[in-house]
Every structure is written in structure tokens, then in C-alpha cells.
Copies of this chain bind each other. A is one copy, B any other.
Amino acid sequence: MNTSQNPTAAVIIIGNEILSGRTRDANLAFLGKRCDELGIRLQHARVIEDDQDVIVETVNHCRAHYHYVFTTGGIGPTHDDITTAAVALAFGVKVDRNPEAVAIMDKYYAPGMLNEARLKMADIPVGATLIQNPVSGAPGFQLGNVFVFPGVPSIMQAMFEGMVNLLIGGKPMLTVSIRTNLAEGVFAEKLTAVQHQFADVSIGSYPIFRMGKPGVNLVMRSTEADAIEKVSLAITEMIRDLQGAILNPDE
């Protein structure tokens, strides 16, 4: 793929509730799509427990290996929200009550409602830049190449859209998908030949069982629209040669 020039990113999903299966993460899929559009290669994700040492180690690993790191979860007012302190520790900086964050939250909450527990959310690592929260007041923050978001998807996503101009991407990743009724085993050999012929387009083959009917999505990814177009034609031809059908994506 010709995306080796694009900046890379990793996502760190912080929260026992994801690992226990109680909550199904929705932020990774959102960030994956947005990174594609922004020309950032989302290369890696980790789901980790609410554990200070693990957060510190994971943040330090990821910020050294990827251009951008997005964390989700653990920045609320309760005892299990330990992400802010752990990220500060990872960078070797202190956490301080941030006057700008206090002012934002003071405006958000009704008089008398901004208690000490909520003010904990205004404790921000020294040197960090705030990420505005248009939904529920309490900000996230950026420290170096690490962007710290809450876990609630609607809030996380609104905050991401508000800071997205800070990210410098490359060429957007384009994706085109063709759905067929053929089984993978029927076209695998020919598809390998197509992939070899067009090395600058990444071709993925994903079987899907929908309402008992098997099908396969063939997904082409590249930053070059004309390269995808060529592969698309080659795959369409391959499916016809094998007497297969091209299905509507919703079939």
C-alpha cells in the first residue's frame, strides 16, 4: 500500500468494563473511519485495565511508536477515573488544577453544583492543552502526541470533531467494497493473482453470514482512486469468470 508516508496512530481503550464484555467499545470503529478520511494510518489498538502502571507503560510505549495516540475512558470524577494522573506520570509531569478548565466547568454547571469531585476533572497535567467538550463540560487534553478523551461515545466523538484540525494527515484512505455470493475457497487462488498484479491496493476478503446466507465482502483500500478502479474491474471480471454474482451490499 502506498500509505507508508501517512502518519500513524494508536488507540488505547482504558476500562475494565470493555474487558469484562459489559460495554462494547464503539470508539475504535469511529476513530478507524475518521483516521482513514484524515489520511492517518490507525495501526494499533490496546484495551487495558484501569491500572496505573499498565496505563503508564502503554502510553509510553504507544507515544514512542506512533505519531498520534488517542486514549478513551477514565477521566470522570469517580475513584475509578485514573487516566489523567497516569498520563501525567507517563510524561513525568505534575497534575495541577487548570484555571481554564475551572472556568469552563463553572460556566457549565448550575450555581453550587461544581463540587470538589467535579473539580477533579479540572486537574490537568502541567503543559497540556485542553480539548473542549461541547456535550458535558469537562474537557479532555492533549499532552505531546497523546490526546485524552472520555469513554462515552457521543461525548468522545463530539470532542474529536472539535480538535480534528490539529491533526496533520496525509492522503485520505479510500475504500471500495464488492459483495459476492461466491465462497472464499472458490476465488482465493484468482484473488491472490489480482493482489500480486496490483500491489499498491490492499485487498481484504471478509466472509459474512447474514440471515443464513453466506457471502463475502472484497474490500479494496488505497489512497489512489484510479488504482482502486482498476482492481475493482479485475475483481468484477474474476467474479463473472467464476459464474458468481455481485450482490447489493445490503443483500
Contacts and interface: CB of A to CB of B under 8 A. Distances in A.
A45 B221 CA distance: 25
B29 A21 contact: yes
Interface in A98-137: 113, 115-118, 120
Given A175-B22, A185-B115, A17 B80 contact: no
Given A80-B205, A184-B78, A185-B115, A20 B33 contact: yes
B48 A44 contact: yes
Nearest to A135: B209
A37 B36 CA distance: 37
Nearest to A21: B32
Contacts of A144: none
A28 interface: yes
Contact of A205 (B78, B177, B208, B219): B78
Interface of A: 11, 15-26, 28-34, 36, 42-50, 76-81, 113, 115-118, 120, 151-152, 154, 173, 175, 177, 184-186, 188-189, 191-192, 195, 202-209, 219, 221
9 closest Cβ pairs, A-B complex: A21-B32, A117-B188, A21-B33, A118-B185, A45-B47, A78-B205, A21-B29, A79-B192, A77-B188
